[in-house]
Structures are given as C-alpha cells and as structure tokens.
Amino acid sequence: MRAASTASLVAAAWLAAGAVGAAEGGDASVFARCAGCHEVGPAAKDRIGPHLNGLFGRRAGAHAGFAYSESMQRAGNDGLIWTAATLDAYIENPRALVSKTRMSFRGLASAQDRADLLAYLRRFSDDPSDLPEAEPTARGVDHDIDPSILALRGDPEYGEYLSAECVTCHRVDGGDTGIPSITRWPTEDFVVAMQAYKRALRPHPVMQMLAGRLSDEEIAALAAYFHEIK
Amino acid sequence: MKLNRRTFIGASAAAAASLHAPTVLAEGHGKPRVVVIGGGAGGATAARYLAKDSQGQLDVTLVEPSRTYVSCFFSNLYLGGFKDIEDISHTYGTLAAKYGINVVHDWAVDVDRESKVVTLAGGARLPYDKLILSPGIDFVEDAVDGWSIASQNAMPHAYKGGSQTELLKAQVMAMPEGGTFAMVAPPNPYRCPPGPYERVSMVAHVLKTTNPTAKIIVADPKEKFSKQALFEEGWGKHYSGMIDWIGADFGGGVVSVDPSAMTLTIDGEETKVDVCNVIPAMKAGRIAELAGVTDGNWAPVNAADMSTKADDDVYVLGDASRQGDMPKSGFSANAQAKVCANAVRGALTGSKVFPAKFSNTCWSLIAKDDGVKVGATYEATEEKIAKVDGFISATGEDRALRKTTYEESEGWYAGMTTDMFG
Ligand SMILES: Cc1cc2nc3c(=O)[nH]c(=O)nc-3n(C[C@H](O)[C@H](O)[C@H](O)COP(=O)(O)OP(=O)(O)OC[C@H]3O[C@@H](n4cnc5c(N)ncnc54)[C@H](O)[C@@H]3O)c2cc1C
C-alpha cells in the first residue's frame, strides 16, 4: 500500500492528465477528513491546524499568528509554495514533504479523493482562475515510477561510502543545529524524503542537486546505512 | 533499463581495481603504511577515514606541526564578532585516542620518492607505502610589490589560520576613528574564492558599530569575483558608502605597499592606511614542491583518486592540488580526502573501491543573519574533476531564507569539523 502511494507522490497522474475533481467546485465531503483540525470558508479560524483559506500560491508555514513546527517553517523559508502538486504530495503523505510536521495525519491514499479535496480547497483561494492546473514539475515526469522503489533493500556498505558526502553537513552523531538530523530514520521515510527532493517537490538547492544524481538503488543504500548507524 | 545495483558496483569496482592493483609490500614490515602530511581539511579527513574504515589494517601517521588547528573557514566570522577563537580551534586528541592514528607534531622537510621516506624537521624518518600531501598554501614570492613574508606583522595576510587572524582582528579594533582598512585581494586561483569578500563584509560589520566613519578600500587584480552580485547587493544594503572596491579595470591590479610607512599605492595614487590586509598570490604548500610533484604553482592530480600525475604512490589533496573545476575550499578538500581514502585503502587492503563523487557548498555571511551560498557537484573524468551541476543564492531573497542559510552554515561547520577530527 505504501509503495503504491509513493508512486503517486510525484504529483499524481490526475494533474498531468488535466483531470479536475469530481464536481466542478470539488467535493466538500472529503474535507471531513481534515475538519477535525482545519476550518475553511468565510468565518474560518485557526484550530489545531491553521485555517486553509488563501492556500494556493502561498508559502508554506506563512499564515501569521499560527505556531508552525520548525520543520514547516524551514520548508517555507526554503521556498516551499503550496501548489496543486505540492499540496497533493503533502496530503498524500505529510512527512514526505515536511519530515517533522506537527500535522498528525497519515495521509490520503486515494488520488481521486485528493483531487476532489484540492478542487474544493481551491474555491477558497483568492483567484482560483489564475491558478495553474499543474506545475511544470508535475508535467512530463515519469509517472511509471517503479512501485518497488520502497521495496529495494539497500546495501549498507555502499551506503556507508555514499554517506561520506552527507556527513559533512548531517552529523553522524545526530546533532541537528542548523541542519536536520537524518540518522535512525525509518527507511521508508528516508526514501520518500529523498525522492521528494529528487523530484523537486521539496525545495532546497543543495538537497535537490545531491538527490538528483542519486539512483534509486543508491538512495536505498543510504537509507539502510543511516538507519543502522549507532 | 535499470542498472542493477550489484553489477553496477561490481563493474565500477573492477574498473577502479584494475587501475590500482594492490601494492606489493616491501618485505619485512607489517601493516601497509600511509603517511599523511598536513592535518587540515584534507589531511585530517583522509587520516580519519583511512583509520576508521580500515579498522586496524593500516598504519596511519599524520604529520602536522601545530597542536591546535585554527580553521580558516569561519575565521571571517571571528573577525566579525560572531565566533570566538575557541569556536574555530580544534585539537588532534580524538584522532590519536579513538582512531589510533599516530599523530606526529613536526614539519615534514623532505620527501624521498625513490626510497619512499619522509624526513621530519626533528630528524625522524617515516617510510611509507602511500603518501598523502595536504599542506594547504604558501604565498608566491614578490607577488605584491613591497610585501614579503617578513612584513606579515605590519600587513597581515590572515590567510592561514591562527595568530595572523587574531592579529588582523586586533588591528581592526585599534583603528583610529574614521580610519582606513585596505585589502589587497589575490589573483585566481586562490583558496576560498568568496573569502576576501566575506572578510570585507565582516570588517564592515564591526566598523559599522565601533567606527562608523571608517572606510574600506579593496584593490583587486580581478575584474570580477565570486558571488559578486550578492556581495554588492549586501554592501549597498548594509554598509552603504563604506566600501570602495577597485577592480582590475580601474587599476586595482597595479599596487605596491610600504609596510613601514603604512601606505598603499593603487595605480600610482598613494593612500595612507591604518590596516592593510595583503593577500598575495598563492601556490601549493612548499612540501609539495619539495616532493617534486608540482608543475608550476600546483600539483596536478588524477581526478579518480587524487594521485599525482608524477607518482602513483603520492596523492595531493585540497588547495595544493590542481584537479580541475572544484574551488579551493575546505569542503572540497574534505570531499577529495574521502575519495582518496577509499582508493588508497582499496589499493593497500583490497577493499572495494567505489566510483569518485565530489560536491562542494560554500556559505558566506554578509551581515548578521544574511547568509548566502554557492555549490556544485562534480565527477571524475579522464582529464579532470569536472563540474556537473550547480546553484547559487539569488539576489533579493527574503530575510527568513537568508537566516536559514546562515544557520545551515553553522550546521555545516559542526558537521565538517566532526568529520575531520572525530
Ligand atoms: C578567510 C578564509 C575563509 C574560508 N572560508 C571557507 C569556508 O567558509 N568554507 C570552506 O569550505 N573553505 C573555506 N576556506 C578555505 C579552506 O580554509 C581551505 O580551502 C582548506 O583549509 C584547505 O584544506 P587543505 O587541507 O588543503 O589545507 P589546510 O586546511 O590549510 O591544512 C594544511 C595543513 O598542513 C600543515 N602543513 C603545511 N606544510 C606542512 C609540512 N611541511 N609538514 C607538516 N604539515 C604541514 C599546515 O600546518 C596545515 O595545518 C576559507 C579560507 C580562508 C582563508
């Protein structure tokens, strides 16, 4: 199940295909999944999560007055903008985009549900007609991602060699001042995060550049090594 | 088609292995011996990786005259008052105690490549199977008219870590009100391309509060410099009217100094200055030349493993090497050291050798919480270390991003120095 959901992480096929949510204005019913924490609409207030008005085109973690997690603030500072593609990835698996997000929500696996939900949320952004259907990054990408990426078993010895490039910045001892720690993560979360950089869904020029030249096998090897570090 | 990981590794390991058939060791000694000269960004990293990864199979000796390594990286932040000297000082205790490296505090004064022996100033002789040189830089003699190493107290370079950096700071703090700080910037190639301009920023940052009517003049033999648009934007924003950069087009390369009179003459025009930071043209640390592995000012190396063109058993890392496209930075030296350590260990113990991979990121601080960065990835080609892909901070970035970028550099410093010294 996890593997299948990652395949669509890229920016779900519906975006490239130009599909829109079920109803023209989207489907409010899926929003029930979010309503425990979020409000949207004219009288919306911040609850456990920030209100979701004016979301499209806005920088992540930028709604004044809401106390976001450090991870979300960092993503916003780095330039994560909420678009159809990034929202789709976030809602599908929040940690793929923002590792230590405080949004404790497992994600919506169904691409159709996400499409409906996003079409609905778009109604509450300033000028939905200006919003692009999909980001350039969401087009032309290979949607046939091998669903076995997550199933790859990494070779820790190769991972150790590759990790030498990472530990100049990410301390092996797990210290995280200024740069997040990446040791002892569940391997799936690690792979999902690296794939998000590789596909430029996560912002950050260094990480996009480094992840961009790692093969899926190499990412698996790194995930295995950093997971096992003592 | 997807490359199968196993065949991929296998193939490249085999390719690399054929370049490096295990060295046949001279009879009569035990473990293969690696001598590393220079305990800086390249040397300390190489020694640590060799010792850590070989788990006792190699005899690793690190030769370094200083007991304390005061890093050049972040030394500008010390000038700017953001770091103390202790924050940028490191010792070799962990490398000796935890990794079993034989740390010898002495100068290497000779390398006999015929008999494979290094001689130290104290007279000791160190035989090696593989020799790694990472001696950093020395200055080209007579590069700046009127300046020599004998004048480094009157006009410090502060381009090697330690006392020079402290001296420069003391001079900046002692400047008379409304005085002049001058810098003579170096020609390419030199260590840390954005270094002089980060330094100008940090000196301006200090003067802005302690001595706001002071002036800064930079005489530069280059027409343009690293991260120029970013620095110029920052100087305009934070230090408006304080910094006068005179590039080659305006005679910035035609300079002479008089250390006893404290004057700087740029294109015939003499100025009295209060502090003069002369950063002369650079070349490989002298021991590389003594070892006979240099060609001109630098030591040409093979990109795949950092071995010298002159000798398969002698490697040169970091600033002293001529490798291709990587800038001379601590980050680069560290990346090269790991590639080299992997290859040397493979050659001496038969361990797997993985394909070379390099990257670099250099951060600069322009003002408090105003950090920028530039970086790239590289690959080894037959000819050189060749750039693959890169990025640079943009002008006009918002404050939150600049602050995050600065914080990242602090994270890197912690990671980098842990990677060097354990
Ligand atoms: C102001 C300034 C700012 C900088 N900022 C950055 C930065 O932000 N990021 C970055 O990545 N880089 C930065 N650098 C560059 C960085 O300091 C160098 O590129 C890096 O130190 C090069 O590593 P190295 O191993 O070649 O030489 P070094 O680190 O200089 O090490 C050489 C060592 O060799 C020793 N040695 C020399 N000769 C002998 C001998 N004969 N016998 C024994 N030992 C010997 C020396 O004592 C020294 O400890 C900066 C440099 C300067 C000057």
- Residue B186 Cα to ligand 1 middle (Å): 16
B106-109: long-range pairs with CB below 8 Å, 24+: B106/B63, B106/B65, B107/B63, B107/B65, B108/B37, B108/B63, B108/B287, B109/B287, B109/B290
Residues of B whose CB is below 8 A from A176: 411
Q: Could you name the CATH architecture of B5-138+282-421?
A: 3-Layer(bba) Sandwich (3.50)
CATH number, position A220: 1.10.760.10
Whether A84 is in a domain gets the answer yes
CB-CB under 8 Å, B389 with A213: yes
CB-CB under 8 Å, A161 with B354: yes
Question: How far, in Å, are B37, B218, B259, B418, B420 from residue B65 at the CA level?
Answer: 10, 33, 29, 20, 17
Let me know whether A124 and A151 are in one domain: no
Cβ count near B81 (within 10 Å): 15
Q: What is the pLDDT of residue B299?
A: 98
Please name the residue ranges forming H helices in B183-227: 195-210
Strand-pairing partners, residue A123, are none
Give the type of residue at B155.
M
Let me know whether A115 and A202 are in one domain: no
In chain B, ranges of CATH 3.50.50.60 domains? 5-138+282-421, 170-278
Let me know whether A8 and A98 are in one domain: yes
Question: How far, in Å, are B93, B203, B406 from residue B103 at the CA level?
Answer: 9, 36, 34
| CB-nearest partner of B331 from A168, A217, A221 | A168
Q: Which of residues A134, A158, A191 is at a domain's end?
A: A134
In sequence order, which residues have a C-beta less than 8 Å from that of residue B350 and are 6 or more positions away?
Answer: B22
Q: CA A213, CA B42: separation in Å to the nearest integer?
A: 24
Structure tokens at A37: 């924490």
In this structure, the residues whose C-beta lies within 6 A of any atom of ligand 1 are B 37-43, 63-66, 69, 72-73, 75-76, 107-108, 134-136, 159, 191-192, 195, 199, 285, 287, 317-320, 328-331, 333, 362-363
Per-residue DSSP letters for B317-346?
Answer: -GGGEE-BSS-B-HHHHHHHHHHHHHHHHH
* β-strand pairing of B275-278 with B130-133: unpaired
Cβ-based burial of A64 (10 A; exposed 0-12, middle 13-18, buried ≥19): exposed
Q: Which of residues A113, A134, A155 is at a domain's end?
A: A134
Instruction: Give me the phi and psi of B276, to 5 degrees please.
Output: -130, 110
The answer to whether the peptide bond before residue B300 is cis (omega within 30 degrees of 0) is no
- From atom 11 of ligand 1, which residue's Cα is the shortest distance away? B330
Confirm if A171 and B414 have CB atoms less than 8 A apart: yes
Let me know whether A199 and A110 are in one domain: no
Q: CA B205, CA B172: separation in Å to the nearest integer?
A: 11
Who wins on pLDDT, B113 or A138?
B113
Q: What is the pLDDT of residue A28?
A: 79
- Residue B329 Cα to ligand 1 middle (Å): 8
- How many domains would you assign to chain A? 2
CB-CB under 8 Å, A179 with B342: no
Strand-pairing partners, residue B255, are B266
CB-CB under 8 Å, B331 with A210: no
Whether A139 is in a domain gets the answer no
User: Scanning the structure block, which residue is given the tokens 């678009």?
Assistant: A83
Who wins on pLDDT, B130 or A154?
B130
Is a pLDDT exceeding 50 seen at residue A6? Answer: no
Q: What is the per-residue pLDDT across B26-71, written as a single tens digit (0 to 9) for each?
A: 444 689 999 999 999 999 999 999 999 999 999 999 999 999 999 9
In sequence order, which residues have a C-beta less than 8 Å from that of residue A76 and are 6 or more positions away?
Answer: A59, A60, A61, A62, A68, B400
- From atom 45 of ligand 1, which residue's Cα is the shortest distance away? B38
- Residue B109 Cα to ligand 1 middle (Å): 18
Give the type of residue at B315.
Y
- Residue B335 touches chain A, beta carbons under 8 Å: yes
Is a pLDDT exceeding 70 seen at residue A134? Answer: no
The helix-helix angle for B330-349 and B41-54 (nearest 10°) equals: 30
Residues of B whose CB is below 8 A from A224: none
Cβ-based burial of A187 (10 A; exposed 0-12, middle 13-18, buried ≥19): buried
pLDDT band at A155 (very low <50, low <70, confident <90, very high): confident
Q: CA B112, CA B243: separation in Å to the nearest integer?
A: 49
- Residue A23 touches chain B, beta carbons under 8 Å: no
In sequence order, which residues have a C-beta less than 8 Å from that of residue B114 and are 6 or more positions away?
Answer: none
- From atom 35 of ligand 1, which residue's Cα is the shortest distance away? B38
Who wins on pLDDT, A15 or A209?
A209
CB-CB under 8 Å, B5 with A158: yes
- From atom 8 of ligand 1, which residue's Cα is the shortest distance away? B73
pTM attached to this predicted model: 0.89
3-state secondary structure B264-285: EEECCEEEECCEEEECCCEEEC
Q: CA B286, CA B305: separation in Å to the nearest integer?
A: 22
- From atom 27 of ligand 1, which residue's Cα is the shortest distance away? B136
Strand-pairing partners, residue B70, are B89
Let me know whether A9 and A121 are in one domain: yes
Whether A19 is in a domain gets the answer yes
Q: CA B330, CA B413: separation in Å to the nearest integer?
A: 10
Q: CA B271, CA B216: separation in Å to the nearest integer?
A: 12
- Residue A173 touches chain B, beta carbons under 8 Å: yes
Let me know whether A63 and A163 are in one domain: no
Residues of B whose CB is below 8 A from A157: 352
- Residue B419 Cα to ligand 1 middle (Å): 15
Q: What is the pLDDT of residue A152?
A: 79
- pLDDT tens for chain B, 422 residues long, are 344 433 344 344 444 444 444 444 444 468 999 999 999 999 999 999 999 999 999 999 999 999 999 999 999 999 999 999 999 999 999 999 999 999 999 999 999 999 999 999 999 999 999 999 999 999 999 999 999 999 999 999 999 999 999 999 999 999 999 999 999 999 999 999 999 999 999 999 999 999 999 999 999 999 999 999 999 999 999 999 999 999 999 999 999 999 999 999 999 999 999 999 999 999 999 999 999 999 999 999 999 999 999 999 999 999 999 999 999 999 999 999 999 999 999 999 999 999 999 999 999 999 999 999 999 999 999 999 999 999 999 999 999 999 999 999 999 999 999 999 99
Q: What is the pLDDT of residue B137?
A: 98
Question: Coil, strand or helix: which one is B387?
Answer: strand
| Ligand 1 atom nearest residue B160's Cα | 53
Is a pLDDT exceeding 60 seen at residue A15? Answer: no
Q: CA B14, CA B353: separation in Å to the nearest integer?
A: 8
* β-strand pairing of B102-104 with B108-112: unpaired
Is a pLDDT exceeding 70 seen at residue A125? Answer: yes
Let me know whether A119 and A12 are in one domain: yes
The Cβ-side half-sphere exposure at B142, using a 13 Å CA radius, reads: 0
3-state secondary structure A170-218: CCCCCCCCCCCCCCCCCHHHHHHHHHHHHCCCCCCHHHHHHHHCCCHHH
In sequence order, which residues have a C-beta less than 8 Å from that of residue B156 and are 6 or more positions away?
Answer: B164, B167, B168, B171, B277, B278
Whether A34 is in a domain gets the answer yes
User: Scanning the structure block, which residue is given the tokens 């590289």?
Assistant: B378
Per-residue DSSP letters for A7-68?
Answer: HHHTT-HHHHTT---SSTT--GGGGHHHHTT---STT---SSS---TT-TTPBTT--TT---
Q: How many residues does chain B have?
A: 422
- Residue A164 touches chain B, beta carbons under 8 Å: yes
Let me know whether A213 and A122 are in one domain: no
Residues of A whose CB is below 8 A from B401: 77-79
Domain residue limits at A67 = 2-134
Residues of B whose CB is below 8 A from A167: 415, 418-419
Let me know whether A175 and A113 are in one domain: no
Strand-pairing partners, residue B36, are B62, B132
Q: What is the pLDDT of residue B29?
A: 64
Interior/surface letters B197-211, b for 16+ CB within 10 angstroms, e for the rest: bbbbbbbbbbbeeeb
Q: Which of residues A134, A169, A197 is at a domain's end?
A: A134
Let me know whether A127 and A170 are in one domain: no
Helix (H) or strand (E) holding A77: helix A70-78
- Residue B253 Cα to ligand 1 middle (Å): 25
Q: CA A83, CA A61: separation in Å to the nearest integer?
A: 13
CB-CB under 8 Å, A155 with B388: no
Residues of B whose CB is below 8 A from A206: 361, 373, 375, 391
Fold for B170-278, please state it.
FAD/NAD(P)-binding domain (3.50.50)
